[in-house]
Structures are given as C-alpha cells and as structure tokens.
C-alpha cells in the first residue's frame, strides 16, 4: 500500500447496530494488541454472530450470569471466555446495553508482530496457522481473561478501521463448532485475498 492514513479505532457506534451487520463489517478490519513493548496486528477474515437470549447457541441463552454478564454491557467492549478447559476466545459486544449479543472473531491473518506470535505459538507450522482459529488467535495475540470487558476503541486491545472487503470476496455460511442452532447462517469469511 502506498500511503496509509493513520488507522483509527472503530467507534462504539460501529458496534451499536444489528449484530449481523457488525459481523459482516468487521471483515478486513485490523485487530491490534499491545503488550509491553510489542505490538501484534492481524486482518480479520472470519466472524460469527451470536444474537442474544433467543439464540440457543449464544451464551446468553442461559440468561444473565457472572460469566455472560459482559454480553449485557456496552457495545464495543470485549467478551473473552474460556472453553474446553484450555482455550480463550474473544468477542466484540454489539447493540445497546441490555441486548446480549456479540460477534466472535474466528480467524485473522497475521500482519505485524509475527515473531511475537511465533513465540506464543511455537507449534504453528506456518504463518497462516498462527491465528486461523478463535483459540489460536487469542494465544498468538496474548489475549486472555484480563481483556474481558475491555473497551475495544481505546484499549491495549483494539480494532482499527482498515480496507473493507467487497461483497464478491465474502461468503456467508452456517456457524461451526457448536451443537445448537447450527443451521443459522451467521458465519462470514473472506474467500479471496484482497492483496495481490
């Protein structure tokens, strides 16, 4: 890219919209995490929407509990949860307070800080495998429970505006990795590389 205008974080208003629009809109955006002196960045290429208490696959379907409480919080904050006894996953909370919906970030492409990612995920055999899964990207980015409820527009953990992905490069499919409400078409991913 020739001249990069300074990347701005997506404002809270970006997240205070229909969750499906947010999931689609996050494709192509930049996930960034600063820890100590190191910065890692990635391009979001896969997301999933979780719509609220009426969505059986959404954690909020169980109601408001200590675990799901962040989903009820303000839009643009992080919901980081622990699964399978060993993995962390990160979501962006969407819609107004009291509407417990969110977008799971499932996959990103490494953009910066690849050395740091490799240190955190020495088992990855290729750069692509560093963060092509929800738990992998949390490991590569150093995301864990400490980022739960963090504001994504000003934290050390942020999502920055970047080149949007055009419709012809986006595919919408069913959600994966879940047992309930599997058939709902709430997963978006980038099918073609925008770079050449």
By the rule CB under 7 A, 186 interacts with DNA: no
By the rule CB under 7 A, 89 interacts with DNA: yes
Q: Among 8, 13, 39, 62, indicate the residue that binds DNA (CB under 7 A).
A: 62
Residue with structure tokens 């643009």?
Answer: 76
Minimum CB distance to DNA smaller for 154 or for 180: 180
Residue 108-147 contact track with DNA, rule CB under 7 A, x = bound? -------------x-xx----x---xxxx-----------
Minimum CB distance to DNA smaller for 43 or for 59: 59
> Residue 94 to residues 20, 71, 105, 118: CA-CA distances in angstroms?
9, 8, 13, 31
Residue with structure tokens 């499919």?
Answer: 173
By the rule CB under 7 A, 84 interacts with DNA: yes
Q: Among 54, 65, 115, 191, indicate the residue that binds DNA (CB under 7 A).
A: 65
Contact range with DNA by CB under 7 A, out of 22-30, 64-72, 109-117, 164-172: 64-72
Question: Cα separation of 58 and 55, whole Å?
Answer: 5
Q: How many residues bind DNA (CB under 7 A)?
A: 38
Contact range with DNA by CB under 7 A, out of 5-13, 21-29, 36-44, 77-85: 77-85
Q: Which of residues 143-182 bind DNA (CB under 7 A)?
A: 176-180
Return residues touching DNA (CB under 7 A).
48, 50, 57-60, 62-63, 65-68, 71, 79, 81-87, 89, 91, 102, 104, 121, 123-124, 129, 133-136, 176-180
């Amino acid at each position: 890219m020739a001249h990069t205008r300074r990347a701005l974080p997506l404002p809270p208003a970006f997240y205070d919209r229909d969750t499906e629009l947010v999931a689609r809109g996050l494709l192509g955006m930049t996930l960034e995490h600063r820890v100590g002196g190191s910065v890692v960045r990635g391009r979001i290429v896969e997301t999933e929407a979780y719509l609220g208490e009426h969505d059986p696959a959404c954690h909020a379907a169980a109601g408001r509990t200590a675990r799901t409480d962040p989903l009820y919080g303000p839009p643009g904050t992080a919901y980081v949860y622990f699964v399978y006894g060993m993995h962390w996953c990160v979501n962006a909370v969407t819609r107004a307070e009291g509407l417990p919906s969110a977008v799971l970030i499932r996959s990103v492409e490494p953009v910066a800080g690849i050395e740091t990612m490799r240190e955190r995920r020495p088992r990855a055999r290729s750069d692509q495998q560093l963060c092509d899964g929800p738990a992998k990207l949390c490991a590569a980015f150093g995301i864990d429970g400490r980022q739960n409820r963090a504001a994504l527009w000003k934290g050390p953990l942020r999502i920055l505006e970047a080149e949007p992905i055009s419709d012809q490069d986006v595919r919408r499919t069913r959600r994966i990795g879940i047992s309930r409400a599997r058939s709902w078409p709430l997963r978006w991913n980038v099918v073609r590389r925008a770079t050449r």
